[in-house]
Each structure stands twice: as structure tokens, then as C-alpha cells.
Amino acid sequence: MKAIETYWHGCRFRSRLEARWAVVFESLLIDWEYEPEGFVLDDGTTYLPDFLLHGFDGRCKGDLYVEVKGSMTDEDMHKVREFSKHKPIYIVTDIPVYKGPVNPEPHWYEEMESKCYTWPYPYNFETVDGDRFGAFLGINLYGNPELFGDDSNYLTDAHTWVMNAAFEAASTARFEHGESPEKSLGYGTARDVVQKLRHGLPARFSKEPAGQNVGKKRMQAKGPYNDEKLQLVALLHGDVFAKDHSFARKMLDKKWPGWRDTDLSVEQVYALKYGNEA
């Protein structure tokens, strides 16, 4: 049985799943190409990767090929492995379940993590750089795409909320009868957040960072502060500040060296970010 082709964004995708992943990439402002070129492998067989993504940070800098498979045969996996001997390629499957921005702990990587250590090892560095280790597609705090390892030391550099927005756009996308993924809340939200991150601006779901001016006025009398620090704090993701101060301190130490030398407590930093009472 053959999948129905889907037309979107100037491309005719071989499956709806490929089109949904294109929505993820476009939501995150990732520079992508669909089936840009085919290759003759060492054993003489031919292979055409689904996507080529550009502009990655982290362990896989630069370009990254992506293979989209709802299910994979031994022949499919053989071609991917042969190709990975020469170029990095990342295997993805179904769009991860959307957790929702109201979830207090939206671990966008959980479904990827549940699959990354079972054959054919999707969401894994194995076909990227040879390391059988979980690799989770995400956006870093500078707004650039990156594969984050299955470890908290990697994941603290990921922007959690923007991935949920992109997955929401992709999982709910409709392509028929004049409908378009661009009309979804998640699509516009993700693009807005990534743009702000790339410009060094505070990135929240609202169009204007709620309480930013209030936070400024409140903190001026409580400790040293400047706009650069405010931006760095705003880029740190999630409500973790209110729940786990030890983790918050670790993130602050990494992203804002010297914050301990100010008069700001973790609670005050949280207030500075959100404009709430500490």
C-alpha cells in the first residue's frame, strides 16, 4: 500500500509524515531542502535522503541529512548505514506527541527518548557520528538547530517550549481544502520565539514579554542589573526556577557567570524574568 502524496510549501512530499516534518523544520526556521540529490552507495545501490538541513550547532555542525520513516525495512536500514559512513544522517519517525505549553514540565524529548535505543535507532547519534547515544532535535538558546544528547548537561541548552509549539503545528497540520499549517497557533508561536532568540531578545509565547518593565523597576533597588543580564535570564527556559532551585543555579552558573556576585537570589532572578513577586 502506497502513501498519498502531500503538496505543501512548493514541494510534493511522498508521504504525509514527510510533510509534517517539513512543518516542524519550517516552524523552527530551519533552512531545509527536500530530496536535494541522490547518491550511489559503495555497494552500487542508490539512495535518496529525504531532507538536508543546514545551519546546525553542537556536535553536528553545519549540514545534516534526515531520513523520515514511519516503518523501516532491513533494506532501508542498510542504505542508511552505508550512507552514514560518508555523511551524517538522522533518522526520525512519527511526530512526537504534543505535550502542550500549559504542561508545567513539557519534556519535549520524552517520546524521542523512548525510541532512541531500539532498532532502527531513530533519534540517535549512531548514524550521525557513530555514537549509539540519544540525539534529540531541538533549538538552542541562540535560536539555532542542534542535536541534544540524552543527558541533562546537553538539555539545559535547549529551549523547551518552542519544540512543543513546532510539534503542535506539525501534528495538527491539515493540507486539504484550503487549510494550511501556517494558520495554526503553534506554527506562528515557534517562528516568533526562534526569531527572538536569534536576535538576543527575551522569548516568551506572548508577543511582548509580560512584566519585563515591572521586573526592571522592582529589581533596580535589589541588586546590580543590566539589559544583557535580563536577556540572558529570559532566554533560560521553563518554570524550573520556581520548582528546582539547584537546577536553576546550575543553569545560571553556565549562562550567566558571576550572577552569584550580585545581590540577586534565584527567586529574584525568577521575578526579573517573569515580573512576578519573588
234 pLDDT exceeds 90?
A: no
Over residues 130-182, the pLDDT tens digits come to 999 999 999 998 899 999 999 877 887 888 778 888 998 999 898 987 788 88
Exposed / middle / buried, residue 245 (Cβ in 10 Å: 0-12, 13-18, 19+) = middle
What is the pLDDT, as a whole number, of residue 157?
82
Q: What is the mean pLDDT of residues 41-45?
A: 96
| Cβ atoms within 10 Å, residue 64 | 24
* 226 vs 26, residue with greater confidence: 26
Assigned C-alpha cell, 113: 527518548
| 201's grid cell | 531578545
Average pLDDT of the segment spanning 191-201: 83
Beta strands in 4-126 (DSSP E): 6-8, 11-13, 31-34, 39-40, 46-47, 51-56, 62-68, 89-92
In angstroms, the CA 250 to CA 222 distance is: 22
Model pLDDT, residue 145: 97
For residue 52, is pLDDT > 70? yes
- 82-85: list long-range contacts, CB under 8 Å, 24+ apart: 82/41, 82/42, 82/43, 82/45, 82/47, 83/39, 83/41, 83/47, 83/49, 84/126, 84/127, 84/128, 84/130, 85/42
At residue 109 the predicted structure's pLDDT band, cuts being 50, 70 and 90, is: confident
pLDDT at position 224 is: 37
With a cut of 70, say whether residue 218 has pLDDT above it: no
Q: Report whether 211 contacts 275 (CB < 8 A).
A: yes
What average pLDDT does this structure show over 227-256? 50
Residue 100 has pLDDT above 60, yes or no: no
- pLDDT the model gives residue 63: 97
